A and B are shown apart, each in its own frame.
Chain A
Amino acid sequence: MKCLRTCLPLLAAVVLALTTEFVANNWLNPRYALLLLYIALNVILVVGLNLINGFTGQFSLGHAGFMAVGAYVSAALTAFHGKAALGALVFLPAAVANGVLLNTALLGGGLAAAVVGVVVGLPTLRLRGDYLAIATLGFGEMVRIVILNLDVVGGATGFGGFPKLTTLFWALVWVWITIAAVKNLVLTVHGRALLAIREDEIAAESVGINTTFYKVSAFVVGAFFAGVAGGLFAHFLLYINPASFDFLKSVELVVMVVLGGMGSLTGSVVAAVVLTVLREYLRVLGAYRLVIYAALLVAMMLIRPTGLLGGKELSWRAIRVRWQRLFKRGAEGRGRSAAA
C-alpha cells in the first residue's frame, strides 16, 4: 500500500512525460515543443529559487550564475568526455545511453553549482536583505565575467561541440524531481525551520535552529537545481554563451518567483508558465514586446503586490473547500430568504 502511494505518481509522471515527448515529436509544431522545453526549464529554476527567496526569505539575485556554472560544467563534461562515455555505453540502446550520459552530466553540473553555492553562500548569507541581494548580484556578474575570460570553454565567443542529449522527456522528469524534492523538503521539519528563518531569524535562532546551516542548505539545493536546468539548457541549444546568463536572466527568475507568490510552489509553476508564454506571444508586437512586458510587470505588481497566489497553494483540496464554502453560503442565503 505504501508502495502504491509513492510508485503510482512516479509511474504516472513517467508515462505523462513520455506521452508529452511523443506528442511533441510527432504532432506538435517544433515552435511549441521549444516553448514547452523553455517552460520546463523555467519551472525548475523558479521552484529552486523559490526555496531560497520565498520559503527561506533570503533574497538572491544571482541565480543565473548557478545556471551558468551548471551549463558550462555539464557541457564541458560531455564535450570532452562524451564520445568516450558513449563508446563505453555502446551495449545499451542509443536512447538509454544518451539518457545515462545526459543525467551524469546534469548531476556533474548540478553538483558543481551546489559546491559554488556553498562557497558563495557561507560568507554572503551572513548579510541580510538588500545587502544579500546586491552581493549575490555581484556574484552572478562575476561568474559571467570569469567565464568570458575562460578560453577552455570559448570565452566570449561561446561554447559548442557537445551532443544534443536533452529531450522533453528528461526535462519533464527533472521538473517532477525538482517539485517533489522541494515540496517534500518544505513539508518536513527542515522546511519548518526554513519558514521560521523567513518569519523571524532571531526568534528562529533562539529556539535552537541552526540558521546558517539551513540558509546555506536552501541556497545549495536551489543552486543544484539551477545547475541541472543550465545543463538541460546547454544540451538542448548545443551552444552556450555567457550572455545567456546575465543579470537580466536572474531578474526574470526573481520576477517569476515574486509574481507567482513567495513561498507558493504552485504559484511558481503558474508564473513560470504564464510569463514564458507571455514573452513568446508578445513577439508579434516586434520592438514593443519588451516595453509592453515591462509595463505589464509594473501593472501586475501594482494590482497584486503579493503575487498571483500570495503564499497559498493551489490544490484540489483547497478548490474543493472553497467550492463547498461557496455552495454552503449559497444555501444559507436561500434559507435566510425563505425564513424572511
Chain B
Amino acid sequence: MDRFLDLLVNGIAWGSALALIALGYTMVYGVLRLINFAHGDLYMVGAFLGYYIARLLSPNVQHSVLGGFLIFAGSMLGSALLGMLIERIAYRPLRRAPRLAALITAIGVSLFLEYGGQIVFGADPKFFPQFITSRPLIETAAFTLSNLQAFVILFSLGLMVALHLLVMRTKVGRAMRAVSYDNQAAALMGINTDRIISLTFAFGSALAAAAGIMVGLLNPKIDPIMGLLPGIKAFAAAVVGGIGNIPGAMLGGLLMGVAEYLVVGYVSSSYRDAIGFAVLILILLFRPSGLLGKGVVEKV
C-alpha cells in the first residue's frame, strides 16, 4: 500500500485530462455517430497553440493569472475554430455518404494534422513553458499532491461541470441532445442541425485543447504525434463509459488514467499502454454498451 495513494493521485490527474479528451469524442459521436479520429490531434494542436502563446508573453505576464487565462483562452479558441473548420471541410460533405467513408476521412485528417504538424512545428519535441511552477501542496508520508496536479484536477472538474450545465440547462444544450436523439426530427422542429454540429465540434475541440495544455504542464514535452496514443486511449475511455454519454466519458477517463498508473506502479511501465485496451475489451464483453450506456434494443 506504500505507493498506492501516490499512484492514485497521479492517475486521477492524468485521468482528468483523458476524460476531457474523451468528452469531445463522445459529444461528436453523439451527434454524428462518427469516430472523430482527428480529435486526439486537436489536443496536440491545443498544446502547441498554448506553447506559442506562452512564448509571446513576457515572463512575468506568463506567470500571472492573466497570462494563464490568455494561454488557456487563446488555445481553446484557436482549437475550437480549427475543429469547426475541419468539420466544415472534411465531414459535412460526407454527411450522407457511407459511415466508413467519413471514418476514413477522419483518419486522413488525423494523419494530415500529425504530418503537417511535423512540418509547421518541427518534428523534435519541445519543452512546454511551465507557466505554473510546480511545488508540493500537500505532503504526507503516503502521497504528495502538487499544486499543478490539484489545479489540473480542479480545472478539469470545473470544465466538466460547465459542459454538463451547458448540455442540460441551456437552449443550445437542449438542441444538442435533440440532434443526438434524432437528427431528422430535430431538423423538422426548426433546429439548425448544421450549426449545432459545428458548435459540438467547437466545444469538444476546446476541451481537448485545455487537456493539451494541462498535459503539457504535467509532462513538459510536446511533439506533433503526442495526440495519437492519448487520442486512442480517450476514445477507448469514452467507449468504456458508454459512448454518447457525458458522465460516462468522465468516468471512463478517470478509470483508464488510474488503471494506467496502477499498472506502472505494480506491474511494469512497459505495459502502461496495453492496460487501457485490456480494460476496454473486458468491459465491452460484459457490458457491450459501456458502463453507463443504455443497451440498444434491436428491432426488426
Partners in one complex: yes
B110 to chain A: which residues have CB within 8 Å?
294
Number of residue pairs spanning A and B whose beta carbons lie under 8 angstroms apart: 118
In the bound complex, how far is the Cα of B33 from the Cα of A129, in angstroms? 11
Tell me if B165 counts as interface (CB < 8 A to partner A): no
Q: In this complex, what residue of A is CB-closest to B110?
A: A294
A59-B100, A259-B104 given; A290·B111 CB < 8 A:
yes
Q: Which residues of A199-234 have CB atoms within 8 Å of chain B's CB atoms? A: 202-203, 206
Name the CB-closest residue of A to B107.
Answer: A251
Cα distance, A259 to B105, chains bound together (Å): 11
B112: contacting residue among A139, A148, A206, A298, CB under 8 A: A298
Given A145-B274, A291-B119, A302-B90, decide whether A138 and B112 contact each other with a Cβ distance below 8 A: no
Binary B-proximity of A254-266 (CB < 8 A = 1, otherwise 0)? 1100110010000
- In-complex Cβ contact of A141 among B104, B118, B273 (8 A): B273
B105 smallest CB distance to A (angstroms): 5
With A123-B285, A251-B107 in contact, is A138–B277 under 8 Å at CB? yes
Interface contact A148-B270, CB-CB below 8 Å: yes
Count residues on chain B whose CB falls below 8 Å from chain A CBs. 44
Q: In the assembly, what is the distance between CA of A116 and CA of B110, in Å?
A: 30
The answer, yes or no, to whether A316 is at the interface (CB within 8 Å) is no
| Interface residue total, chain A, C-beta cutoff 8 A | 42
Contact: B94 with A294, CB < 8 Å? no
Type the 1/0 row for A135-149, where 1 means its CB is closer than 8 Å to any CB of B.
101110110011011
What's the Cα separation between A301 and B239 when bound, in Å?
A: 26
Contact B101 A291 (CB under 8 A): no
Contact with A along B236-255 (1 / 0, CB 8 A): 10010001000000000000
Minimal Cβ-Cβ distance residue in B for A137: B232
A-B CB proximity, top 3 nearest:
A138-B277, A305-B97, A305-B101
A residues whose Cβ falls under 8 Å from a Cβ of B: 59, 123-124, 126-127, 130-131, 133-135, 137-139, 141-142, 145-146, 148-149, 202-203, 206, 247, 251, 254-255, 258-259, 262, 287-288, 290-291, 293-295, 297-298, 301-302, 305-306
